[in-house]
């Protein structure tokens, strides 16, 4: 065997005093980093196989395990860092493209962390959400340009004269973004669907199709039409509450998808309508969309297929020209524009794409909202922002920057157990999330997971209400695009101009 | 009567239930000490059965028609007022008749004192049996 130059990423430290050789760690590690040496009656660990997912650490009944980053370094170099060298060594070994799961872990400026919220003091009263009503309900879809009323009957009751476009009703402005059945397990999508139904929001099937057994959650489901067109049929489109055309994904703009054949089980093959065991390849572009006019045709076709009863969303990755593209999408007839920032996660992406393509959601969102307002077409579509929303403060900031609602996925997976080891693409997810392995999928109990997801949404909603109350606002609608309630720290003038916010310390 | 039920669809064969049962029925009730000093002397009263990806934890079903009660020579195996089948360790002489008739194979030897037939006692001093409490995936329920 040739000598390997790579350093192992993690170090497994086993406290021999505490280890009782119960083998729980060995049974839980799909990467086989723990083995029981029957002769020595001792547990052994192989650092090189460890993915750092912390499954063993969290299940060890005696807390005998610690998994840490391997402190061994190459010769210190601030340019040719350990990561850089490891990448080169790995590619020299294999000749392959480096793969990663989840969102980029590189150090890029986080604008969320440089935006501060306002609060009321003396001259305008703040509101206590525990004592006064606070409205988080959000409707997604095209809004009428103006309201016309007509009077009806003898009492001349006013009635709306304009016909409203179809709307999605959200009880909290947070939805679960697209993750396909195939990329994640059946139990995980079941948990997402149940939690969405319980919390009055929506989950998104991704391009993995919509398993028949989950049709009971259809009133809380957004289905996706992506470049592979997997699982798309008229029943699928009509079952859902909205249809989303997926153009791009924040983690890998301009890149298609590939679900390896070994993951295409019988149920996945039925759901995706492809042969069992065959690779599911989503091309990078939609081969029938090469222009905004082509997109308009697909939007029109989907509206026709759903009898104009369902809002159509178009999801794009946040790229340099997002504002102009979003304008085209709205003009093409979309009811919702979903923008996915470069921190968005994925089941598998080439590492270099994940880490280097796209722009931060904060900047894309602000510029899209600004552009649509300037063009006078902001009311024709709702904006949904996603890609790296970590907590309720990020949600509030996104809405103040112009989003109607946000999409969360990484946060949702973390809520059900994900420890961000970035090994989704191996199909060996020890937490039972990103896997189709019969041994592993059972580890995610949808009863527990859906409760945890509902709890997360409940907690964030409460916090959002607190923040709104602090600003003296009693409805989330009044915050939308209200950038005057935001202030910037540690940003350049240009960044503040793009975000449309003032520096901290500057009054109205 | 409340019983322990297994949900094979969520059992991941981690065997933490076995560990919890072992510790609960050990002398010290301390996990590290129990494993160091008492391992091999007795077994957990719950067993994880596994075949391929299918697994579930099995313990005394407290059968309505309990063969072990009928087979017991000394009357040690009885049904308590709650409906649970329990073994009176003072009466048990270790004839192993119960082990032979148990259709689930969930009674085993306890070699610590004299010969005792040990089986799930539903942890009478706890609200929830130790195995159910220890299951990280709610694959065991007590209801």
Residues of chain B positioned with their CB less than 8 A from the CB of A17: 32
Domain definitions of chain B by residue range: 1-59+124-143, 64-119
The fold of the B64-119 domain, in CATH, is: Alpha-Beta Plaits (3.30.70)
Test A442 with B12 for CB contact under 8 angstroms: yes
Does B5 contact chain A (CB < 8 Å)? no
Question: Is A442 close to B10, i.e. CB distance below 8 A?
Answer: yes
- Taking contacts as CB-CB distances below 8 angstroms, the residues of chain A near B139 are 442, 445
CA distance A481 to A369: 8
Longest dimension (CA), chain A: 94
Calpha distance A300→B122 (Å, rounded):
63
Nearest Cβ partner for B138 among A27, A62, A445? A445
Cross-strand bridge partners of residue A242: A222
Which alpha helices (H) appear in B4-140, and where do they start and end? 16-24, 31-38, 67-71, 97-101, 130-134
Nearest CA in chain A to B38: A20
**Hey, what are A393's tokens?**
């403060």
Q: Are B66 and B74 in contact (CB under 8 A)?
A: no
Across B75-81, average pLDDT: 93
Fold match flag (B1-59+124-143 vs B64-119): yes
CA A270 to centroid of chain Cα atoms: 25
Residue in chain B nearest A437 by alpha carbon: B53
Helix (H, G, I), strand (E, B) or coil at B87: strand
User: Averaged in consecutive runs of 10 residues, what is the pLDDT profile of chain A (508 residues)?
Assistant: 86 96 96 95 95 97 97 93 94 95 94 97 92 96 93 89 94 97 97 98 96 97 96 95 97 93 94 95 95 97 97 98 98 98 95 96 98 97 97 98 98 97 96 96 97 98 97 95 96 97 93
Q: List residues bridging with A123 in a β-sheet.
A: none
At residue A380, the pLDDT reads 97
Q: How far apart are CA A244 and CA A233, in angstroms?
A: 14
Query: Which residue of chain B comes nearest to A447, CA vs CA?
Result: B138
Contact B12 A432 (CB under 8 A): yes
C-alpha pair distances (Å), A246 with each of A55, A349, A388, B123: 33, 16, 18, 54
Report the relative pairing of strands A242-246 and A312-317 from DSSP bridges.
parallel
Question: A194: buried, middle or exposed (CB in 10 Å: 19+, 13-18, 0-12)?
Answer: buried
Asked if A438 lies within 8 A of B13 by C-beta distance, the reply is no
Locate A471 and state its tokens.
Answer: 């600003």
In the three-class reduction of DSSP (H, G, I as helix; E, B as strand; rest coil), residue A276 is classed as coil
Could you identify the residue written with the tokens 């083998």?
A: A23
Q: How far apart are CA A266 and CA A257, in angstroms?
A: 20
- Cβ-defined contact of A445 to B137 (cutoff 8 Å): yes
pLDDT of residue A333: 97
For residue A3, the tally of other CB atoms under 10 A from its CB is: 4
Q: Which of A425, A453, A365, A417 is nearest to A102 (CA)?
A: A425
Beta strands per DSSP E along A75-170:
99-100, 115-117, 138-140, 149-152, 157-160, 168-170
Partners of residue B21 in chain A, C-beta under 8 Å: none
Mean pLDDT of B44-70: 95
Cβ neighbours for B61, distance < 8 A, ≥ 6 positions apart: B3, B104, B106
- Using a CB–CB cutoff of 8 Å, tell me whether B15 touches chain A: yes
A chain contacts of residue B20, beta-carbon cutoff 8 Å = 61
Phi/psi of residue A283, nearest 5 degrees: -60, 160
Average pLDDT over chain B, rounded to whole? Answer: 93
What residue in B sits closest to A18 (Cα-Cα)?
B32
DSSP A445-480: -HHHHHHHHHHHHHHHHHHHHHHHHHTT--BGGGTT
- Domain covering B1-59+124-143: architecture: 2-Layer Sandwich (3.30)
- Give the whole-angstrom CA distance, residue B119 versus residue B86: 8
Helix, strand, coil percent content, chain A, rounded in steps of 5: 35, 20, 50
Residues of B in contact with A447 (CB under 8 A): 138
Residue with structure tokens 């920057």?
A401
Q: List the domains of chain A with CATH numbers.
A: 10-96 (3.30.70.20), 168-503 (3.20.20.70)
From the list A319, A249, A260, the residue with the least C-alpha distance to A285 is: A249
Going along A78-202, which residue ranges are E strands? 99-100, 115-117, 138-140, 149-152, 157-160, 168-170, 174-176
* Min distance B42 CA to chain A CA atoms (Å): 15
In whole angstroms, give the CA distance from residue B63 to residue B79. 10
Both structure tokens of A7: 């350093």
Chain B touched by A42 (CB under 8 Å): no
Please, are residues A359 and A314 in contact by the beta-carbon 8 Å criterion?
no
- The dihedrals phi and psi of A268, each to the nearest 5 degrees, come to -65, -40
| A498 contacts: CB under 8 Å, gap ≥ 6 | A363, A366, A367
ipTM > 0.90, yes or no: yes
Longest dimension (CA), chain B: 41
Q: Alpha-carbon distance A315 to A250, whole Å?
A: 10
Q: Is the pLDDT of residue B133 over 80?
A: yes
How far is residue A471's CA from residue A480's CA, in Å, rounded to a whole number?
13
| pLDDT in the model for residue A92 | 94
The two structure tokens encoding residue A153: 């009957």
Q: Which residues of chain B does A442 touch, with a Cβ-Cβ cutoff of 8 Å?
A: 9-12, 53, 137, 139
């Amino acid at each position: 065997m040739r000598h390997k130059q790579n350093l192992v990423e993690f170090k497994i430290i086993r406290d021999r005093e505490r280890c009782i050789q119960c083998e729980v760690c060995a049974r839980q590690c799909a990467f086989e980093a723990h083995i029981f040496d029957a002769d020595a009656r001792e547990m052994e660990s192989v650092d090189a196989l460890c993915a750092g997912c912390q499954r063993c650490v969290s299940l060890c009944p005696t807390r005998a395990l610690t998994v840490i980053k391997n402190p061994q370094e190459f010769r210190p170099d601030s340019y040719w860092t350990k990561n850089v060298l490891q990448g080169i060594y790995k590619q020299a070994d294999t000749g392959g493209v480096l793969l990663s799961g989840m969102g980029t872990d590189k150090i890029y400026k986080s604008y969320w962390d440089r935006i501060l919220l306002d609060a009321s003091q003396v001259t305008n009263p703040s509101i206590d959400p525990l004592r006064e009503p606070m409205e988080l309900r959000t409707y997604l879809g095209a809004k009428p340009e103006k309201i016309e009323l007509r009077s009806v009957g003898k009492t001349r009751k006013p009635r709306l004269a304009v016909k409203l476009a179809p709307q999605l009703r959200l009880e909290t402005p947070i939805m679960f973004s697209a993750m396909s059945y195939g990329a994640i397990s059946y139990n995980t999508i079941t948990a997402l669907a149940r939690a969405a139904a319980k919390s009055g929001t929506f989950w998104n099937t991704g391009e993995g199709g919509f398993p028949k057994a989950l049709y009971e959650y259809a009133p809380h489901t957004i289905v996706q039409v992506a470049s592979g067109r997997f699982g798309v049929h008229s029943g699928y489109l009509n079952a859902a509450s909205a249809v989303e055309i997926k153009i791009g994904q924040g983690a890998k703009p301009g890149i298609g998808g590939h679900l390896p054949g070994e993951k295409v089980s019988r149920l996945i093959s039925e759901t995706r309508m492809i042969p069992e065991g065959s690779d599911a390849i989503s091309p990078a572009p939609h081969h029938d969309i090469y222009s905004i006019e082509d997109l308009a045709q697909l939007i029109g076709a989907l509206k026709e297929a759903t009898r104009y009863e369902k809002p159509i969303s178009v999801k794009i990755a946040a790229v340099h020209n997002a504002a102009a593209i979003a304008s085209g999408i709205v003009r093409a007839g979309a009811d919702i524009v979903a923008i996915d920032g470069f921190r968005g996660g994925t089941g598998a992406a080439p590492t270099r794409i994940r880490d280097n393509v796209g722009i931060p959601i904060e900047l894309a969102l602000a510029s899209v909202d600004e552009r649509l307002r300037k063009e006078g077409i902001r009311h024709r579509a709702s904006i949904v922002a996603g890609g790296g929303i970590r907590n309720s403060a990020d949600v509030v900031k996104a809405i103040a920057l112009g989003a109607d609602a946000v999409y969360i996925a990484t946060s949702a997976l973390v809520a059900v157990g994900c420890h961000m080891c970035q090994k989704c693409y191996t199909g060996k997810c020890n937490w039972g999330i990103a896997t189709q392995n019969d041994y592993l999928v059972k580890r995610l109990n949808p009863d527990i997971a859906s409760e945890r997801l509902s709890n997360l949404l409940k907690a964030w909603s409460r916090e959002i209400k607190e923040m709104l109350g602090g600003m003296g606002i009693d409805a989330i609608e009044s915050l939308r695009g209200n950038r005057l309630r935001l202030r910037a720290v540690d940003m350049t003038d240009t960044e503040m101009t793009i975000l449309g916010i003032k520096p901290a310390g500057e009054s109205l | 009567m409340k019983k322990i039920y297994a949900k094979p669809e969520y059992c991941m064969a981690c065997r933490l239930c076995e560990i919890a049962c072992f510790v609960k029925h050990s002398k010290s009730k301390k996990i590290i000490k129990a494993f160091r000093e008492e391992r091999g002397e007795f077994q957990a009263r719950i067993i994880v059965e596994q075949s391929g990806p299918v697994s579930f934890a099995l313990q005394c079903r407290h059968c309505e028609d309990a063969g072990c009660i009928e087979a017991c020579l000394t009357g040690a195996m009885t049904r308590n007022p709650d409906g649970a089948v329990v073994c009176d360790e003072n009466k048990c002489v270790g004839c192993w008749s119960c082990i032979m008739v148990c259709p689930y194979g969930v009674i085993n030897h306890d070699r610590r004192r004299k010969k005792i037939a040990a089986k799930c006692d539903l942890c009478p001093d706890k609200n929830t049996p130790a195995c159910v409490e220890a299951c990280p995936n709610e694959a065991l329920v007590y209801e």
